[in-house]
Amino acid sequence: MSARYVESSRLPTAWGDFDMHGFEDVDTNKEHVVLTMGEVGNGEPVLARVHSECLTGDALFSMRCDCGNQLQAALQAIAEEGRGALFYLRQEGRGIGLLNKIKAYKLQDAGADTVEANEQLGFGADMRDYSILKPMFEHLNIQSVRLMTNNPRKVNAIEEQGIDVVERIPLHTDSNPHNEKYLRTKAGKLGHMFEGRE
């Protein structure tokens, strides 16, 4: 994959003013954005979150996942530090797309967990591709990050793009009756680490 930088603009949010940088994947025509606050290209490790799109959680406030809460927690952490970057990748449903995600939800309603549902639809457990990140990091002149994630596999995937992950920072969000099985599956089958959670 390769990304083409398009344009930047100011984006005021509830957490403060960010700069929004738009990129286009020239192979898939998907559009991705990075929100930055402060000077991120000065050589110092940057507090960062690589967040895959979750329309249901990020915009529709679904309680089936923890995505929206993680997105908001990351933006708040960056604002509190006054410097950081949030990479928002258009990889809905761990890369299977929105409509297939709805099909997966239907299978989950019938008892499957998130991994089983993806596999029943003929997909892998996680179809996301992080190779799009390399040109985005290069454009912003970011060489190293303090990465906000509970997913050690994401750390490895980002390091494979030549980005130095100097620290993994857990993202703490609350569970609810609708996402408890989802979180257990993320921990048990996908290796996510939820410090402080039983």
Q: Is 138 labelled as part of a ligand binding site? A: no
Q: Are 128 and 156 in contact (CB under 8 A)?
A: no
Q: Is 149 labelled as part of a ligand binding site? A: yes
What CA–CA distances, in Å, run from 193 to 56, 157, 196?
23, 16, 9
CA atoms within 13 A on the CB side of 35: 23
Torsion angles phi and psi, residue 12, rounded to 5? -75, 135
Q: How big is the CA angle at 169 (ends 164 and 173), to the nearest 5 degrees?
A: 145
Q: Is 51 labelled as part of a ligand binding site? A: yes
Q: How far apart are CA 134 and CA 71, in angstroms?
A: 21
Q: Is 154 labelled as part of a ligand binding site? A: yes
Q: Is 70 labelled as part of a ligand binding site? A: yes
Tell me the catalytic residues: 126, 128
Q: Is 114 labelled as part of a ligand binding site? A: yes
Q: Is 168 labelled as part of a ligand binding site? A: no
Q: Is 50 labelled as part of a ligand binding site? A: yes
Which residues are known binding-site members?
Answer: 49-54, 65, 67, 70, 92-94, 114, 149, 154
Q: Which residues are annotated as a binding site for Zn(2+)?
A: 54, 65, 67
Binding residues for GTP: 49-53, 70, 92-94, 114, 149, 154
